[in-house]
Structure 1
Amino acid sequence: MECVVSSVVAVLLLHTVSMTHAASTHSSTDHSQVVAEADALRNSGWWIWSHPATSNHCSWLGITCNEAKHVTGIRLRNYQVPIGEVSELNLSLLPSLNFLILSRMGLNGSISDQIGSLTKLTILDLSHNQLTDPIPHQIGSLTKLTHLDLSFNQLTGPIPHQIGTLTELTYLNLSSNVLTDVIPSSLGRLTKLTHLDLSFNQLTGPIPHQIGTLTELTYLPLSSNVLTDVIPSSLGRLTKLTHLDLYCNKLIGSIPHQIGSLTKLTHLDLSSNQLTGPILNQIGTLIELTYLEFSGNELTGVIPSSLGRLTKLTHLGLFYNQLNGSIPHQIGTLTELTYLHISGNELTGAMPSSLGCLTKLISLDLCKNQINGSIPPEIGNIKSLVTLDLSDNLISGEIPSSLKNLKKLGRLDLSYNRLSGNLPSFITNNCKQTTINLSQNDHLEGYAGYSICTRGHTISLTLIISLSLTLFFVTLILGFAFGLWWKKRQLQPESMAAKKNGDLFSIWDYDGRIAFEDMISATEDFDIRYCIGVGGYGSVYRAQLPSGKVVAVKKLHRSEIDEPTYLRSFKNEVQMLGQIRHRNIVKLHGYCLHNRCMFLIYMYMERGSLYCMLSDEVEAVELDWVKRVNIVKNMAHALSYMHHDCIPQSFIGTYQAITSF
């Protein structure tokens, strides 16, 4: 019996010793890991300025530890500590990390393959840095990730298909990088996603139909890429979407009727593509919309009356399409509208009096259509109007006296119409606060045909536009041309237009053959009467083509034409300028190299420059901080497009003529 008891005691003692040894070994290993993690943080050099080398790493800025002192999180934002290359932090020594947030920290270099060792990570945010090179495929090992944000960096290469293994993701933002290639279809496996942003990259190919499986999505911007093919009908299955932005791609085909199923949409932007066909009646089912933008496409047919059901709209842009018919009177039910632009179409008929119901409108632009009839006196009810542009139409009759009620009006353009009758007294009385253009209305009595009223003076059309309108946008094209000049790309011969008189002439985006002689005829051999601005490199002329379209023509000085080096570079770079498509950049339509002269042809714009607006006391007050922030954002988008999104990428010689609105 004593022998048995002794044996049991011996076994228990041996087990206790074994357990104690194992615990001691584990404790030793655990301590070594804690030390290794602290060393990894210390050796990065990111915390050396605020903490001594011997301090407890768990108390350092932005560091989170568990009870065992393992680092479970790093959260640093907005340059809280000096930081350099992301590789300075050895991620393989931090296996317990649950979140890694290093946003706006000035990080540079590439994302290390070590990222794949952080298998417990749920949040990874490296946004707003200067990270370069491709996204490592090892990121596909982070299968617990719910939030991945690598936006606003300079990452290149394709989106790794391994991201499709991150099936717990609810938020994925890769926007504002230089990512290329196609959108991987594997993203269709991320069925928990609510936010997917791939905008402002250089992604190509079609939108994969597998996107339609992401039925939890509420936010989907794919704008400012080079996406092609049609809009997939599978997008109609994303019934929880509130924001869909596909603007500034090369999408073709018609708008799929399945878009009408997205009844929770508040923001829909399909502008600056190559979409054709009509605006579908189904758009009228999207009654939650506040923002609708279809501008810069090739849409045809009439404006559907069903748009009148979108009573929450504040922004409606349909400009520069091929829409015809009249403006539906139902537009007057959109009483929340602040922005209505339908310019540059083929609209006919009279303006509906129901426009006067849009009492919150700030900007109304119906220019460059074929609208006839008279100006409805009800327009005078829109007392919030700051900009009213009805130019380049067939509007007749008198200027209604009710327009005197538009006390906030900063810009009124009724030029190039068929207005008649006496000039209302409020026109001249309003000169101190309103820029008014009534030119080219031959039967308007008491008004000099080529003048503009602005800030208490009557100034010639030549001077005012040259100082505050088109020259602003002329500089953009010239800045691009001369900035791109230094790249000296070799011109592809087949991309040039046919030669005439031994010289090159090319114009894009207009139907029919436009000859050099047409430009000479439109400007009467560049007569001074058509000159609207003079710059360091040439003069700008307003030219109305035989089709009725109006363009701006920049005729370069003779000294530039005689320079052979400049000519070669000009030919190369002007071809590249023609490929730039962005709603905040003035579009180049063509150019001419003739033995008599050389000129650029581009969209005619009548907006003043930001400099002139800020220099004017009245206009500066109206340009409130919300508008100024929007201007900065639009400029940033344009600059980002030219640096990262435009193919080929553009070197910018001057920034001063990006459109702000």
Structure 2
Amino acid sequence: MTYHKSHLLLLIKALFLITSLTNNATSSNRDAAILFRVKNTRIHDPSQKLDDWNNSSPNAPCNWTGVSCNHPNNDVVSINLSGFNIISSDFPADFCRISSLRNLDLSVNSLGGFINSDSISICSHLESLNVSSNSFVGNLPNFPVYFPNLTLLDFSYNNFSGEIPTSFLNLPKLQFLSLGSNLLNGSIPEFLSNLTELTQLILAVNPFLPSPLPKNIGRLNKLEILVASYTNLIGEIPDSIGNLISIKNLDLSENTLSGVIPDSIGGLKSAELIELFGNQLSGELPDTFSNLTSLIWFDASSNNLTGKIPESLAGLQLESLSLTDNLLEGNVPEILALNSKLNVLKLFNNKLSGPLPNFLGLNSELVEIDVSGNNLVGPLPSYLCSKKKLEQLILFNNGFSGSIPESYGECSSLTYVRIQENELSGELPDGIWSFNGVEHIELTNNKLEGFIPPSISTAKGLEQLLISGNKFSGEIPVEICSLKELRKVDLSMNRFSGELPICVNQLTNVQELHIQENMFTGEIPKGFSDLRELTELDLSENRFSGYIPAELGSLPVLTFLNLSNNLLSGEIPVELTKLKLNEFNVSNNRLRGKVPLSFNTDFFLSSLMGNPGLCSPNLKPLPPCSRSKPVSLVLVGVLSALSLILVLSLLWLFIKTKNFISFGGKSKGSWKITSFQRFGLEEEVLTSLTDEKLIGSGGSGRVYRLMLKSGQFVAAKRLWETKKLAESEEVFRSEVETLGRIRHGNIVKLLFSCINNDFKVLVYEYMENGSLGDVLYGEKAGVLLDWPTRFSIAVGAAQGLAYLHQDCVPPIVHRDVKSNNILLDEEFRPKVADFGLAKILQQDAEMGDQVMSRVAGSYGYIAPEYSYTMKVTEKSDVYSFGVVLLELITGKRPTDSSFGENKNIVKWVTEVALSSPEKGTEKATGSIDVASLDRLLDTRMDESSIEYEEVEKVLNVALSCTAELPVSRPSMRKVVELLKDRSNRFK
């Protein structure tokens, strides 16, 4: 009996095993069939990454790409197709028909269309669903059925709009919810505080209706990450925020939150990062931070905070403390010096007073300190660079006194030094002159003295040397000529003497050279003609002698020339008349001879005075030029005839001008003419605006190409009449306010403006090759632009925008950066143009970023956040410039039809970069294979001119500029640095 029972048990086990194997095989076959059907009917796989999805492969589907199974049952539990470049016009919900499926990741692809509630319901058994970085549109899907196990839901980086549906409450176990970087335009709902299992909630970069943070947000006591920047938050931070006892990352930046920071913030005992910058918070910082012992990053910059920096905050072991652009006062707490982790300290633009802590930096590896724009006094701390890590030392606009500590001369890590506008005295430690990595030294308006040492030759990366308004003396060492990266040099208002080094012509990248108000002697070096980038040259108030070098007239972009108050002799070289000068001054020298015709006007009179030897036939009070022969009767007759011709010509000109102004016989009133450059031919221009000289017509007016009698070409834009374009007055005023006051080699020059009651004319320098858009997409179709030319255009345009953003005071945002607004001269040098939409940011400085009444810019170039925040920031221009860089690389318009539906150039390029086999699912920040680059590159370019490594690095700059989050984009100054770094590396 026992024998038979044992056999029976073995038989049952065998039957069970056979049944189990049969079921597993049936399940695997069914799962494979579903996957195979979805691949062939619902998605497109252009990269052929799913080629192994076929029934003939062994162990299907568990060995298929992107498919994971559990063991030993071999049920499909996970599908991960992230970054596979798959394409679909809707959500492939049929994947969810695999009942064992728990995780579905379709992120970073080209999926589009709507996700409806019916299709999402099929996926109710999932534990995680990720469709981020696609092109889905419409409302977020409802969840009409219960999702008992869903813990992760990522809808970020799509184009969803509308409200967050209340059916999200059917996701009771949800731990990770990301809706960031969409177009959600409803309100932020209070019911989010009922999803009490959440550990991460990301809402950032959405155009929500102005909404407060949920009042009961503190109910989410498991929440570790809350990112709600750029979400139009208003109102006060609720007291319940202090109940987020698990929060590690709290980001409420770049909103319109107001009121005080609640005392309850002291309850965030797990917080590591708190970002509140870019709001309208007021009142004092609460002194309740003592328990935040995990906090390493605190940023409450750009608010209206008052009072003192609380000891409980300053006493934490922070790595970064930023409280810039507030109204804080009192001393910088001494306790900061005890912090052993402090890397970044930013307190600029407040009302802080007293000295900096004497031992600041002694205990920590300080990397950046910026306390500029305060009322700080006393000596500079000696230990700021005790750990040899300090890179940025920014202390300007304070009242610091005493000498600069010798220890700073050993701080070889320094790259950026700005200590101007203080009361510092004594000699500058030699080391500061000679650090290999230093890029910017600015010491202006102190009481510093001493010499520039020969060791400055080792500062190979120095781009700006600004030391005016001190007591520096001695000769300029010839070693300075080895600094090939110098862009701006200002040694003015010091006590330098001796002759300028002849080797100054080796500074071929210098754009501005100011050495006025010193004691230089000798002749002006002839080598200035080699400085092809020079825009400003000021040698005034020195003791230079000899002739003015005629070679100065060959400098292609020189706009400012001041040689006044020297001992110069000889004649004014006629070659200087070839320059397009905004400023010209040779007064108070020993010049002689006849004033060249172009300078022989009242406009230049004050710039010529103080030269007894100068003469003019008609410019009083300069003496008349003597005549070598008596005037004959014949000459009198000729002059009389010429006078008659002149009178008749003036009469004809008056009639023609009158006709031009009247436009059909009805007078529009007299013209008001404002000149911004030395021009003098305004009337000739106004009489020449005829149809045969029309070269273009756009949204703001008509553009004419005019050749003057002198042979010079100019471009004149006549704005549409006000009744045809309501914004005409705004466009005109914007152009005049911006271009009328700025001077830069990469900004188009406004020569003069004319206005009467109904018509407005703007006259610019003419750019021979039109716009970058013309050359890329017009009749010449890009063939003229090889890669070195395109790269040069990118660098020049970046320099122009960086000048607007960082060097103009107040800064200027262009708001319409595009290829059609980058003009090219005869040598394809770029100049940023068309400032009709530009805004001067300081006009509403008290209100923070300017909020516009309408979206401005051109389709395809507008930064994603601009359409809903309506805030004007420099980062909007950075995004647009990134698009221009992509145009230069690809030769494609921003919205080329070849990209496919709902795609622009940024999306397309990103997908191509992501398709690189070396990159997997990473963003395009590393190596891109040659095949992907070939797919991106404009095929019209001469292949022999292409440096693939350089193109890749420029591509990375472009992708950085077009980052979704504005805070992730570099400044234009940084863009210039990155591009120039690439230029130097590949020479």
Pick the TM interval, shorter chain: 0.5 to 0.7
Shift of 1:71: 3.4
Shift of 1:396: 2.1
Mapping 1:636-655, distance limit 5 Å: 646-647=846-847, 650-651=850-851
Shift of 1:459: 6.2
- CA distance in 1: counterparts of 2:972 and 2:674, whole angstroms: 23
Partner of residue 153, structure 2: 74
Q: How has the CA–CA distance of structure 1 residues 537 and 209 changed in structure 2, closer, same or farther, with 3 Å as cutoff?
A: farther
Shift of 1:337: 0.9
Alpha-carbon contact 1:200-1:645 (below 8 Å) kept? no
Cα offsets for 1:263-309 (capped at 9, x unmatched)? 10111111111111112212132431111111111111122222341
Shift of 1:315: 1.1
Does residue 1:384 correspond to 2:457, yes or no?
no
Letter in 2 for 1:194: E
For 2:175, which of 91, 95, 98 is the aligned residue? 98
Q: How has the CA–CA distance of structure 1 residues 315 and 301 changed in structure 2, closer, same or farther, with 3 Å as cutoff?
A: same
Shift of 1:610: 8.0
Other structure's SS at 1:136 match:
coil
Letter in 2 for 1:186: S
Partner of residue 7, structure 1: none
Cα offsets for 1:629-659 (capped at 9, x unmatched)? x989x999x9999799943764569878999
- CA distance in 1: counterparts of 2:742 and 2:364, whole angstroms: 33
Partner of residue 795, structure 2: 620
Shift of 1:50: 11
For 2:309, which of 220, 231, 250 is the aligned residue? 231
Alpha-carbon contact 1:468-1:609 (below 8 Å) kept? no
- CA distance in 2: counterparts of 1:376 and 1:606, whole angstroms: 33
Cα offsets for 1:416-442 (capped at 9, x unmatched)? 222211111111343465542223334
Other structure's SS at 1:259 match:
helix
Other structure's SS at 2:449 match:
coil
Partner of residue 245, structure 2: 167
**Structure 1 length-normalised TM:** 0.64
Does residue 1:281 correspond to 2:349, yes or no?
no
Which moved further from structure 2: 301-310 or 142-151? 301-310
Mapping 1:105-254, distance limit 5 Å: 105-131=182-208, 132-239=210-317, 241-254=318-331
Cα offsets for 1:560-612 (capped at 9, x unmatched)? xxxxxxxxxxxxxxxxxxxxxxxxxxxxxxxxxxxxxxx99xxx999987889
Alpha-carbon contact 1:438-1:452 (below 8 Å) kept? no
Shift of 1:319: 1.3
Does residue 1:48 correspond to 2:126, yes or no?
no
Other structure's SS at 1:48 match:
coil
Other structure's SS at 1:213 match:
coil
Letter in 2 for 1:139: I
Partner of residue 437, structure 2: 360
Partner of residue 579, structure 2: none
Shift of 1:204: 0.7
Please provide the CA RMSD for this pair.
Answer: 4.6
Shift of 1:210: 0.3
Alpha-carbon contact 2:505-2:531 (below 8 Å) kept? no
Cα offsets for 1:365-386 (capped at 9, x unmatched)? 1122222232233222212212
Other structure's SS at 1:359 match:
coil
Cα offsets for 1:218-259 (capped at 9, x unmatched)? 1111111111111111224312x1111111111111111011
Other structure's SS at 1:215 match:
coil
Mapping 1:132-531, distance limit 5 Å: 132-239=210-317, 241-431=318-508, 433=510, 435-447=512-524, 454-455=531-532
Letter in 1 for 2:250: L
Q: Which has the higher contact order (CA 8 A, sep 6+)?
A: 1
For these two proteins, the number of residue pairs brought into alignment is: 486
Letter in 1 for 2:391: T
Shift of 1:361: 0.6
Which moved further from structure 2: 186-195 or 120-129? 120-129
Partner of residue 39, structure 2: none
- CA distance in 2: counterparts of 1:313 and 1:413, whole angstroms: 25
Structure 1 residues without counterparts, runs of 5 or longer: 1-44, 470-524, 531-535, 541-598
Alpha-carbon contact 1:379-1:402 (below 8 Å) kept? yes
Q: How has the CA–CA distance of structure 1 residues 537 and 364 changed in structure 2, closer, same or farther, with 3 Å as cutoff?
A: farther
- CA distance in 1: counterparts of 2:534 and 2:745, whole angstroms: 17
Letter in 2 for 1:255: V
Identity %: 31
Structure 2 residues without counterparts, runs of 5 or longer: 1-111, 133-142, 541-552, 561-602, 609-672, 678-736, 750-788, 816-838, 857-871, 879-970, 974-987
Alpha-carbon contact 2:511-2:535 (below 8 Å) kept? no
Mapping 1:527-566, distance limit 5 Å: none
Q: How has the CA–CA distance of structure 1 residues 645 and 49 changed in structure 2, closer, same or farther, with 3 Å as cutoff?
A: farther
Letter in 1 for 2:256: V
Q: How has the CA–CA distance of structure 1 residues 259 and 456 changed in structure 2, closer, same or farther, with 3 Å as cutoff?
A: closer
- CA distance in 1: counterparts of 2:529 and 2:350, whole angstroms: 35
Q: How has the CA–CA distance of structure 1 residues 616 and 402 changed in structure 2, closer, same or farther, with 3 Å as cutoff?
A: farther
Q: How has the CA–CA distance of structure 1 residues 116 and 408 changed in structure 2, closer, same or farther, with 3 Å as cutoff?
A: closer
**Structure 2 length-normalised TM:** 0.44
- CA distance in 2: counterparts of 1:607 and 1:278, whole angstroms: 39
- CA distance in 1: counterparts of 2:179 and 2:325, whole angstroms: 30
Other structure's SS at 1:212 match:
coil
Shift of 1:155: 0.8
Partner of residue 493, structure 1: none
Q: How has the CA–CA distance of structure 1 residues 456 and 111 changed in structure 2, closer, same or farther, with 3 Å as cutoff?
A: closer
Cα offsets for 1:136-166 (capped at 9, x unmatched)? 2022222221221111221111111111112
Other structure's SS at 2:847 match:
coil
- CA distance in 1: counterparts of 2:793 and 2:467, whole angstroms: 22
Q: How has the CA–CA distance of structure 1 residues 388 and 357 changed in structure 2, closer, same or farther, with 3 Å as cutoff?
A: closer
Which moved further from structure 2: 356-365 or 60-69? 60-69
- CA distance in 2: counterparts of 1:63 and 1:615, whole angstroms: 37
Letter in 2 for 1:302: P
Q: How has the CA–CA distance of structure 1 residues 434 and 641 changed in structure 2, closer, same or farther, with 3 Å as cutoff?
A: closer
Q: How has the CA–CA distance of structure 1 residues 619 and 276 changed in structure 2, closer, same or farther, with 3 Å as cutoff?
A: farther
Alpha-carbon contact 1:401-1:424 (below 8 Å) kept? yes
Compare CA radii of gyration and give the structure with the larger one.
2
Shift of 1:51: 7.5
Alpha-carbon contact 1:214-1:238 (below 8 Å) kept? yes
Alpha-carbon contact 1:453-1:459 (below 8 Å) kept? no
